[in-house]
Chains A and B, each alone.
Chain A
Amino acid sequence: MAMAGDKVHHSNAAPIPEGGLASGDVINQYTGEKWYYSDIVKDHFFHPRNLQLEDLVPERFDAFGMVGSPACGDMMSMGLKIDPATETIKELKWKTFGCGSAIAATSMFSVMVTENGGMPIEEARNVRPQHIMERLGGLPNRKIHCSVLADKAFRKAVNDYFRRTGQHERVIVEGSRVIDPKLNITDHDIEEAVLEGAADLDAVQQKLKVGIGSPEIIADVEQLIRFYKEKYYG
């Protein structure tokens, strides 16, 4: 089966593979189709767009994010190239350890934010999972969480871009506690650094620069490092 190459935008749905997929037991809530997945989902699943074929190395991109779905364990990594003048997305590459819906949804998301010369990142931040689903012709209800993964990886990558370019005030934190208000670093960032193997303040600061301009928060940071070390390695 041929792999869809970079930036290939299929204007028409690719032919359904020989014999097609067997009709499933799930009726698509948007189209009433009895197919488990819509033709568009199948097209993106069998011919994913903007897939990174080699390893996804964060340094080769302007932004990088990797997230896992706590619901099912799927993982997604994403790299972005951004035009600094217009802040539009010039390239989005991804890889996933995920199911049919995760593959199709991320493929579609990558098309949506790079088509027509690329979407500005602030606009792309407003693309919601339901917008991806509309473009896909729907997903079975219990597979919707898979499409959220692309959105989450993207938000994480955009925060990474703002940090790399020193625009800490533009980082958007969700569902976590801000520890370093100057750099917008949260308890989740510290948890992540510890999970990546940073075992003390020096190692965490190498990754995050946390507290470098705010000595008053160091005690708080050290306490969090101890807490997460105890939680995961204790």
Chain B
Amino acid sequence: MREVYLDCAATTPLDPRVKAAMEPYWDVSYGNPSALYRQGRLAKEAVDQARERVARILHCRADEIIFTAGGTAMFPFDAAQGKRHLITTAIEHHAGLRSFEALGREGWEVTYLPVSEDGLVGPAAVRAAIRPDTLLVSVMYANNEVGTIQPLAEIGDIIKRVRKERGAAGNQLPIYFHSDASQAAGFLDLDLSKLGVDLLSLNGGKIYGPKGVGALFVRSGVRLKPIFHGGGQEKNLRSGTENIPGIVGFAKAIEIAEAEREAESVRLTELRDYLISRLTTEIPKTVLNGHPVERLPNNVNVSVLDIEGEAVILYLDAKGIAISTGSACTSTTLDPSHVILALGKPYEYAHSSLRFTLGRATTKEDLDYVMEVFPPIVEKLRVISPVKMEVGQTTISHPEAFAGQGAKVKVGGKSYK
């Protein structure tokens, strides 16, 4: 059976060139970089070189790169001077969102910025949310579910202006700008001199590198405290013996991603638009989620109204096709996608949302195969479904079905729990 993997936003396979680069560091150069003898020095050299290579891609200093275990990272700000105000968006990945919610429970004040129906964060809304006690603004570079690309440089300019205003007003509090670039790497410009961010997270498992390895750019001067304590590795921010094969692999992966970025983006944008066009014209009541243009080259997210996403995934899986959904049925918490809901759509849109994320292996023939097997599946599941939504509907279809169950119901533009 044909195998078509279209879930590259979840993770990508390891590039064979990356695998080869990692190879010696399992059992040949196996030393601990903290040791003084030859094996230790070799390992340290590998980490140092990897750091320099990553820094070259990002246009920053090598000592501003902290190797981590992926995109998931807390923001360990020193709260010794008091808990301040933080700003983020309603559509961040759970890696960010849950961290902010945890800080919120600890007593930090957090503003969650709304987004437009295309998933864009307005720079003016960022400006309006900044207060004299705001310590951090965190806006993802590109969204993992709907692929919307945020105007990072514009927001970066706002932060710079606020910094100047604070200086003039004698406000000593720093303001930092963080961005989660896990999905952006390989498609968008990572040149930090243009982005204006102070902190940037990257994830190896999304760029054909090893899983469980990532990097955090920390502009020099930004003061963080250790996440956990130990041997003082990674500038004492992330103690623990370095994952040498992972770090070497990450550096190789980001180099390849950057080298192939422009050509691959052009190729995938064409395939992306081809799939969007076929899905929305050949399958009735199929709507695109996210921005039509300000969108990652590999992201297609549609709601195929009236059918449930998990059932689609199982039917497609039986045909060898791997995709993902924002349906509550596949999430461990049983919550529908917070991203689709933040776009102002009723929950049925999230329940029906399907994400196809293309990658280096994707061909036009793969997409033609999807369009061959997918429409009959939709037809079958629509026969099964009692729901008949209208495109553009903003309220849920059968609120009466939830009566007396304390469900989240939205009628007349209001939400109730």
- Report which A residues bind B (CB closer than 8 A): 1, 3, 17-22, 37, 45-46, 48, 51, 53, 56, 66-68, 70-77, 95-103, 142-143, 145-146, 175-176, 186-189, 191-193, 195-196, 231-234
Contact = CB atoms under 8 A, between A and B. Distances in A.
A72 B384 contact: no
Nearest to A18: B1
B318 interface: yes
A77 B388 CA distance: 13
Contact of B386 (A17, A56, A234): A56
Contact of B317 (A21, A70, A142, A192): A21
Nearest to A186: B404
Contacts of B315: 46
Contact of A74 (B308, B332, B383, B412): B308
A192 B411 contact: no
B172 to A, nearest CB: 47
B318 A99 contact: no
Contact of B401 (A21, A68, A175): A68
Interface in B232-257: none
B403 interface: yes
A100 B399 contact: no
Contact of B328 (A18, A72, A76, A193): A72
Nearest to B389: A97
12 contacts: A19-B318, A22-B317, A51-B383, A70-B408, A73-B351, A75-B386, A75-B398, A96-B384, A98-B329, A187-B404, A231-B416, A234-B412
B387 A1 contact: no
Contact of A77 (B309, B328, B386): B386
Q: Which 10 residue pairs of A and B lie closest in terms of their CB atoms, listed nearest first?
A: A188-B404, A70-B407, A68-B401, A192-B403, A99-B329, A99-B310, A95-B386, A19-B1, A72-B328, A195-B400
B218 interface: no
B87 to A, nearest CB: 30
B250 to A, nearest CB: 25
B81 interface: no
Contact of A97 (B319, B348, B406): B348
Given A97-B308, A97-B386, A98-B311, A66 B318 contact: no
Contacts of B227: none
Interface in B285-328: 306-311, 314-315, 317-320, 327-328
Given A1-B376, A3-B383, A71-B334, A99 B327 contact: yes
B380 interface: yes
A127 B347 CA distance: 31
A37 B318 CA distance: 13
A175 B308 contact: no
A66 B329 contact: no
Contacts of A18: 1, 318
B193 interface: no
Given A68-B401, A232-B414, A97 B407 contact: no
B411 A195 contact: yes
Contacts of A70: 402, 405-408
A176 B332 CA distance: 29
B401 A66 contact: yes
B402 to A, nearest CB: 4
B304 to A, nearest CB: 12
A1 B385 CA distance: 17
B332 A142 contact: yes
Given A71-B334, A98-B311, A103 B384 contact: yes
